[in-house]
Structures are given as C-alpha cells and as structure tokens.
Amino acid sequence: MKNFARLLPLVLLTMGSAGPALAQKLIHSERSMYRDVLVYEERGERCMCFTRECRIGRQSCIYLARPREFALSYTHMVMGGLLFATSAPPKTLLIVGLGGGTLPTALREVLPDAVIDTVEIDPAVTGVARRFFGFKEDPKMKVYEMDGRVYVKRAIREGKKYDAILLDAFDHEYIPEHLLTKEFLTEVKSLLAPGGVLVGNTFSSSRLYDHESTTYAAVFGTFYNLKAANRVIVAKPAGLPTMEQLRARAMEYELALRGFGVDVNTVLGMFNTRQDWNPNARVLTDQYSPANLLNH
C-alpha cells in the first residue's frame, strides 16, 4: 500500500509530506532480511516507510484520531476498482502486498463474509501492521508470508479462483521486476473467476509507464486507468463494465465507503480508458524487465 513522494509535486501535496523532517517522530525501527521497516508519527498521522524520514514515499498511513478514514489517496481508487467493477459483491479476494493492512481491514468491514487472502513477503511488515496499524486476521482473512509470484503459482496448481485481485506489492523503490511482466500478469489472470476483476496499484508517472501500460494491454486488452498521485489499473477479462454499471455499483457502496472518507462520485470521475502512453513501448517479460534501469 504505497504512495511515493519522488515523482510529482502532486504526490507531495497528496501525501502531506512537505513538512520538515525534524517534525517526524520515529516510534519503531527494525531491519528485516529485505529492508528497513520504520514507523513515524507526524501531525496526527502514523506511517510505515521503507526509507529514513520517508524520503521515498510512504507505504501505509493512518490518522491517529480517525483510524478508519483513508489517509492516502490511492486507497480510494483501489476500493472503487475492487468494488465498482464487479457485478456482485466479491466473495474471494487476493491482495499481493500488505503494507499496514489498511485495505484488507476496510474490505473486511465492507465484505464481512468474504475470504480475503493477503500475501506479504516480509514478516516484519506483517508484525508492524498488527502492532502499529490495527491489522487483525480472522478465520477468513489470513496472511501468507511468501513471495507474491510463488503464491500465485501455488494457487494455480491448487485450482484457486478469486473474484477480485489487488496487486499492491512494492519495495523501497518500486514494484519488484518479477511482478511486472507479461508472464506474471498472465498467471494472475488465470486465477480470476469468471467476471473477476484485477486492480493494480502503480505510479502515475515514471519511465516505466509506457512499458507497464503496453504489458497490461497485452494481457487484458482495454483497461480503466485511474490517476491521481498514483495510477490504479482496473482490468476485467470478461469485459469492462459501462459507466452506467459502475455508477449503479458505486451507489450500492456509497454509504459504506463514506465512513472511510471516500466520495464515490469523485472516484467515478477518475474511470477512463483513454490511452495516454506510447503503444509501441516494449512489453515487459521475464526475459526483458529492466525495471531498475527504466525507472531511474
């Protein structure tokens, strides 16, 4: 669950991170086998970061006085994609990337009977989510601590299917390379139940933007593109819902989402299929995925 401050001035405004670093109070720090996992408090917010003083964005945030309300803007778009683009309330969901657990916690409240499987590679992140962000598992909401692609391959072998899948895995810089490729997205697509929806959280501006877009298009065809500080991709192999269908679904969730600070009309206004990338950009594959080079 991530917003990143190094991309655009808009990101800085959205994330509210323009204050002096000295105002941040470090309340937790640990070094896992993958990264530093840090928790800061500043101006009524608590945030998980993977870099000192959150120099490269924030993984997850909550308002201390209003912990239910979403503190990062991308979560509004993700919730819209996961809920508005489905023809019925999803009963099975897969989330790759836990962060502070904001999204699975909210989805559990909105969908109390759903099975929500979350994959998180770093046990330290899971521990911090539980200790500092109020994340709690239950019999139908569990965390699997492993690499997201490993989980996907195992789920395929086990014949699992999901009504909705959210890709939200980041390291301290960007999405891991092996979770960006055509082969991986094809594997994820095969896990979708008939009528299922895929939602991917990415950057709204980066040197990877064109390549990501052509890769998603190669696997899913036309997709909805929602953009603010982050970019959220909403894809549906069975065919995208019309705006009228999206609007009808949004109204069903309007009251529930209002409690998280989500204005459904604002989110609806972000859904579009306009192509704003170079369609000739090379598709990312397991053989060609130089994300670290392209994104700098």
Beta bridge partners of 226: 232
Q: At what angle do helices 102-110 and 74-84 cross, to 10 degrees?
A: 40
Query: How would DSSP label each residue in 240-276?
Result: PPPHHHHHHHHHHHHHHHHTTT--HHHHHTT------
The two structure tokens encoding residue 283: 């598709």
The two structure tokens encoding residue 57: 């964005």
Q: Is 138 a catalytic residue?
A: no
φ, ψ dihedrals at 204, nearest 5°: -85, -15
Name the CA radius of gyration of the chain, rounded: 18
H or E segment and range at residue 41: strand 36-42
How is residue 37 annotated by DSSP?
E
Query: How would DSSP label each residue in 195-224?
Result: EEEEEEEEESS-TTHHHHHHHHHHHHSS-E
Pairing of strands 192-203, 230-235: antiparallel
Q: Is 57 helix (H, G, I), strand (E, B) or coil?
A: coil
How is residue 81 annotated by DSSP?
H
The two structure tokens encoding residue 186: 């094809």
User: Catalytic pick from 163, 168, 171, 276?
Assistant: 168
Q: In angstroms, how far is the first alpha carbon of the chain from the final one?
A: 21
Q: Is the dihedral of CA 219, 224, 227, 230 positive or negative?
A: negative
Q: Which residues participate in catalysis according to the annotation?
A: 168
